[in-house]
Structure 1
Amino acid sequence: MGIERFIGIDLAWAEGGTRAGTNETGVAAVNRLGTVIDCGWTRGIEETLSWLARMAVDGSTLVFIDAPLIVDNPEGQRLCEREVGRRYGRWKVSANSTNQSSPRLAGTLLRGRLEELGWTYDDGRDGPPTGGLVVSECYPYTTLVGAAELGYDQERPTYKRRPARVPTTQWRSVRAAECDKLIARIAGLATADPPLLLASHPVSRQLLDEPTPQRAADYKHREDLIDALLCAWTAALWDRHGIARCQVLGPDGLVPRGSAPTIIAPARPEQRRDQEASRVLS
């Protein structure tokens, strides 16, 4: 039957000392039909765990988290992060560097707590799980340019980082307009395989009904929810199509399977490692 519930978490990477001092985490839960069961925001690891406990379907839940979950490198950048730039750099997508000296490692804390509660981290190298309570790492930017359904064939949308061509004085209005375009494209996933139905929940439906705000805090609030929904849909895509539509970025087969630091990323044919290898050999 497969996984019944797909959950996306856009985790605030830094864990503040108080609830008020912790950034918002976007959360979204979706079923196999693409219906948004719940979505919104939490603050801190404990609130996120409580929400997740309410949303999970026992023995049949896959969680995709936008945050580093396994960090075993003392310095530098994880291999999976380097591979993001190698595979998706043409689309202006790269990843931040993470190592054991990084100050923002809430993802490793969340993974540890989940494992204490009976969840299993899966690096994806054996394909999608068929059941259980499973957590993996993803990166929404790779979904945006790796999933052809969203139409970002040339480069990522400018809904986060200001490109040099956009003057600072115009950035907030340009960013809001680009975010609205992104939301319209995500709404088109209603007819995708798997689907995502933004209008199926009051909170996600507000993305469609209300224009994107320009004020920084309000914008970030919306952006976190969008990324959580993208994470949930990426989990559903991985479950539905596996390696045919996604690739696993990270260590090769020499590293023990199951617990390697990886990012599971939707991929067009030209973004795949095997395509790069075939070009070298030809």
Structure 2
Amino acid sequence: MSRTRTAHAGVDLAWGQRARTGVAVVSAQGALMVSGSVVTDAEIAGFLRPYAAELATVAVDAPLIVTNPTGQRPCEREIGAVFGRYGAGAYPANTSNPHFNPPRSATLADRLGWSIDPAHMGRPGAPVCLEVYPHPAMVGLFGLPYTIPYKAKRGRDLASLKAAYEVLLNAMDRHFPELDLRSSERWAVLRANAAGAQRKVELERIEDEIDAIVCAHLAWLWSNRPGALRVYGDVASGYIVAPPPPPHPPVRRPRDVTPRT
């Protein structure tokens, strides 16, 4: 199959099969083709089925390889050492948490025939599945001094969240030109939903899909821009694919003040 037919997918995977999972697919050129939200593994497989023969890389925001019984994985410590100062440390995954014993992402990869070894260069129909994490990716690729506070955490009001979403979506438009977001009807809907949200839950409904689009772009970068991303950790103990250490210094923001980008 020719190179021009390859595609790349991003999955913002919920830990269990009752919460929302975002899914997105980009073309060989990196343009957003489709995105949406699903719940179960069967729905993820169904969403990706029309593109299965073309997928070369899948980037999943969820622990993929977890072998440690307690504490953090080595890759999480590495990510924390590099990106923790920017507010982008990783949540600890270990096998004492039933969500990671086994990890849902590993089960999904096995079901769909994806390789979980980052050294494997995927090809159409036999993709490599990578663990990624959007927050460090945004810090590195957007040049952020600190993470964008778009997650609906306690204490963040609707106005501050909408301001954070505007920063995030504008940054994606500007820094990810390959996605060609301005030509996407779905992206226009997501932007309208973010701007017009009247309740925080309306922003939560689009959060996973937007993160999945970021993941899909990371999948595309892994295949097309050697050096843009690197592996923290290893396939034996677990790994996370993220940008190299940022050259710019961190600037801790006042609580829940949205950074400019």
* TM-score of Structure 1 vs Structure 2, range by shorter chain: 0.7 to 0.9
3-state SS of the aligned residue for 2:150?
coil
Between the aligned partners of 1:172 and 1:106, the Cα distance in structure 2 is: 36
In the alignment, the residues of structure 2 paired with residue 117 and residue 48 of structure 1 have an alpha-carbon distance, to the nearest angstrom, of: 10
TM-score normalized with structure 2 length:
0.83
Distance 2:122 2:237 in 1: 16
In structure 2, what is the Cα distance between the partners aligned to 1:183 and 1:63? 22
1:37 aligns with 2:33: yes
Quick check: 1:171 aligned with 2:148? no
Taking every aligned residue pair, what percent have the same amino acid on both sides? Answer: 31
- The alignment status of 1:262 with 2:239, answered yes or no, reads yes
Give the match's secondary structure for 1:81.
helix
Which residue of structure 2 lines up, in the alignment, with residue 278 of structure 1? Answer: none
How do 1:45-194 and structure 2 match up within 5 A?
45-58=41-54, 60-105=55-100, 108-122=103-117, 124=118, 126=119, 128-129=121-122, 132-147=126-141, 150-152=142-144, 154-160=145-151, 168=155, 171-189=157-175, 191=177
Residue 231 of structure 1: aligned partner: 215
Partner residue, 2:21: 25
Q: Structure 1: any 5+ residue segments left out of the alignment?
A: 16-21, 252-257, 272-282
Q: Deviation at 1:114? A: 2.9
Question: Structure 1 residues 207-216 or 23-32, which shifts more?
Answer: 207-216
Change over 3 Å in CA distance of 1:105–1:156 after alignment to 2: same
Question: What's the offset of the Cα at 1:263?
Answer: 0.5
Going from structure 1 to structure 2, the CA distance change for 1:219 and 1:91 (only over 3 Å counts) comes to same
| CA distance in structure 1 between the aligned counterparts of 2:102 and 2:19, rounded to whole angstroms | 13
Change over 3 Å in CA distance of 1:225–1:113 after alignment to 2? closer
- Structure 2 unaligned residues grouped into runs of 5+: 249-261
CA 1:212/1:260 → structure 2, altered by over 3 Å: closer, same or farther? farther
Assess if the C-alpha contact under 8 Å between 2:66 and 2:237 holds in 1. Answer: no
Q: Measured at CA, do residues 107 and 67 of structure 1 come closer, stay the same or move farther in structure 2, by a change above 3 Å?
A: farther
1:79-118 superposed Cα distances (whole Å, 9 cap, x missing partner): 1112111010121111111111114339823422432442
Change (3 A) 1:106 1:157: farther
1:110/1:3 CA distance change after superposition, 3 Å = farther
* Separation (CA, whole Å) in 2 of partners of 1:173 and 1:67: 29
| Cα displacement string for residues 118-146 of structure 1 (whole angstroms, at most 9, x for unaligned residues) | 22112x2x375455322110000011001
Q: Quote the RMSD (CA, aligned, Å).
A: 2.5
TM-score of the superposed pair, with normalisation by structure 1? 0.78
Q: Do the aligned partners of 2:45 and 2:112 also contact (CA within 8 Å) in 1?
A: no
Say if 1:99 and 1:138 are closer, same or farther in 2 by CA, change over 3 A: same
SS in 2 for 1:52: helix
Asked if the contact 1:212–1:219 (Cα under 8 Å) also holds between the matched residues in 2, the reply is no
The 2-side partners of 1:269 and 1:109 are apart by 30
Task: Decide whether aligned partners of structure 1 residues 46 and 106 sit closer, same or farther in structure 2, where only a CA change above 3 A counts.
Answer: farther
**1:129-170, CA deviations, whole angstroms, 9 ceiling, x for partnerless residues?**
4553221100000110011xx241x1111112659xxxx3x6
Question: Which residue is 1:255 aligned to?
Answer: none
Secondary structure at the counterpart of residue 76 of structure 1? coil
> Secondary structure of 1:250's match?
strand
Q: Secondary structure at the match of 2:26?
A: strand
In the TM superposition, residue 203 of structure 1 has moved relative to its aligned partner by 1.9
| Whole-angstrom distance in 2 between the partners of 1:40 and 1:140 | 17
Amino acid at match of 2:139: V
How far is 1:186 from its partner?
A: 0.4
